[in-house]
Amino acid sequence: MASTITAVARDFFAACEAGKGWEGCRQYCKPDATFSAQAEPLADVWTLQQYTDWMKGMLTPLPDGRYELKSFATDEERKNVCAYGVFFATHKGPGGPCAPTGKSLKTDYVYVMEFEEDKIRHMTKIWHSGLALKQLGWA
């Protein structure tokens, strides 16, 4: 049987990647949950609320955005869950830094979700945004 944090992380991950925004993700998180990433497009994103809303917004220029989950692991001792996925999308919709390019991306990323009790208190995204933006023709 999966632990509580595993189940919460799995539900959060699915809601976040589906573009549910903070409204669809808040139930899995501490109200003041923080966020970090060493990726230029996310340089001004410091809260999990901002990040989940950013992901929701990305599905406008990338309406076919979808993911393939490659690995999902819980570290009970450290109270964190890591999810490794590959995100696929094509710039077909309005938005982004330019008119739709019709170009596609396939980008690897990892979420490290840190828990306090049964809620996410912090999430780090590990992602090479530079390569992703080049694939879309945005850089």
User: CATH number, domain at 28?
Assistant: 3.10.450.50
Is residue 117 scored above 80 in pLDDT?
A: yes
Q: What percent of the chain has pLDDT over 90?
A: 96
pLDDT band at 14 (very low <50, low <70, confident <90, very high): very high
Structural domains of the chain, count:
1
**What is the 3-class SS of the chain, one letter each residue?**
CCCHHHHHHHHHHHHHHCCCHHHHHHHHEEEEEEEEECCHHHCCCCEHHHHHHHHHHHCCCCCCCEEEEEEEEEECCCCEEEEEEEEEEECCCCCCCCCCCCCEEEEEEEEEEEEECCEEEEEEEEECHHHHHHHHCCC
Range of the domain at 84: 4-136
Is residue 122 scored above 90 in pLDDT?
A: yes
Q: So what's the pLDDT on residue 2?
A: 57
Is residue 3 scored above 90 in pLDDT?
A: no
Question: pLDDT per residue over 50-103, tens digit each?
Answer: 999 999 999 999 999 999 999 999 999 999 999 999 999 999 999 889 999 999
